[in-house]
Amino acid sequence: MGQALLAHRPGLAATYYRAADELLGIPLARLCREGPAHDLDDPAVAQPAILLTSLAALDVLRAHGVQPDAVAGHSLGEYTALVAAGCLAWTDALWLVRLHGELVASFNDRVPGAMAAVVGLERATVARLCAESAAATGQIVEITGDNDPGQTMVSGQARAVARLVRQARTAGAARVVPVPAGGPFHSSLLRGIEAEFTDALRETEFRAPRVPFVSSVTGDRVTTAAGAVAALRSQLTTPVRWTDAVKRLTAAGTNRFVEVGPGLVLGGLIRRIAPGARVHTTGSARQLALTLGALAPATTF
């Protein structure tokens, strides 16, 4: 992650990557570039790596004059969005994400969890299958994300999620994809780490967003520093409302989206939520060059 960004702007190595290594006390820059992949299975490493790469991509966009009219983030992406909105310093965001990953990983060691994406079933059907799997296993599994009108995320304890995956396939789901997230993100199971993470949020300086910020926790705008803190606290145990967030943005006139950071997942979700929207990505050198060509045509990458 981030190779193309560093090749284009070597100065990012000092601005972000070396600074991140010093802040967190782990070789995050090397892990981003080289892996090994199994180290990135740990959310305490994977989440800061994704955030760091997203921040570097945001820096490149801004250096070419590409500035957002509004921002939103899916799950972990809310931290990058808050940095982009001027609400949170990037170093504070990185530290919070590292702590969040450590807390989830520690909890997952004690209570093994899992996640899966269910495609092509009505949300009411997925809810019913969750209840049936919970009753059959004596474990928790619940809906933890509305990614687009046809895709529902579930999280919970490992055996309950495994049964849900089997039952969803039997019920006619178009696809059921286990997600190697390293924990039961956005589920009620994480109430056990809520107090410690809330303390960290309270000790961190937040400012009111300078750019309109739409939270995927509420699916609506957040306009105050306190609201941003509440969103990050709530997202521990609250389902992601990405469909609502994108619809809120489009209702306000947004018709062009840039997915900032590694991957293409959000772009696909946005196209299904808002078929008329133009979507740009930054996950590879070619994608970033195309995005800059479309949004900042006077520049080259």
The string of pLDDT tens digits covering residues 184-214 is: 999 999 999 999 999 999 999 999 999 999 9
The string of pLDDT tens digits covering residues 76-123 is: 999 999 999 999 999 999 999 999 999 999 999 999 999 999 999 999
Token pair recorded at residue 161? 């999620």
Token pair recorded at residue 154? 């579930």
Quote the CA–CA distance of 10 and 263 in Å, as a whole number.
22
Quote the CA–CA distance of 250 and 279 in Å, as a whole number.
13
First-to-last alpha carbon distance for the chain, in angstroms, is: 17
Q: Which ranges of 183-264 does DSSP label H, i.e. alpha helix? A: 191-202, 225-234, 242-251
Q: Does residue 32 have a pLDDT over 70? A: yes
* In contact, 60 and 67? CB cutoff 8 Å: no
Quote the CA–CA distance of 161 and 138 in Å, as a whole number.
12
Compute CA distances 200 → 51, 98, 193, 205, 279, whole Å.
18, 11, 11, 10, 35
Token pair recorded at residue 237? 């145990």
pTM to 2 decimal places: 0.92
Across 268-286, average pLDDT:
92
Q: Hey, what's the torsion of the CAs at 102, 104, 105, 107, to 10 degrees?
A: 120
Question: What is the distance, to the nearest Å, from the Cα of residue 71 to the centroid of all Cα atoms in its chain?
Answer: 13
What is the three-class DSSP state of 185?
coil
Quote the CA–CA distance of 83 and 241 in Å, as a whole number.
20
| Burial class of residue 159 in the structure, from the number of CB atoms within 10 Å of its CB (0-12 exposed, 13-18 middle, 19+ buried) | middle
Q: Active-site residue numbers?
A: 75, 186
Which domains does the chain show, CATH number per domain?
Answer: 3-108+189-295 (3.40.366.10), 112-183 (3.30.70.250)
The residue with tokens 């969040």 is: 100
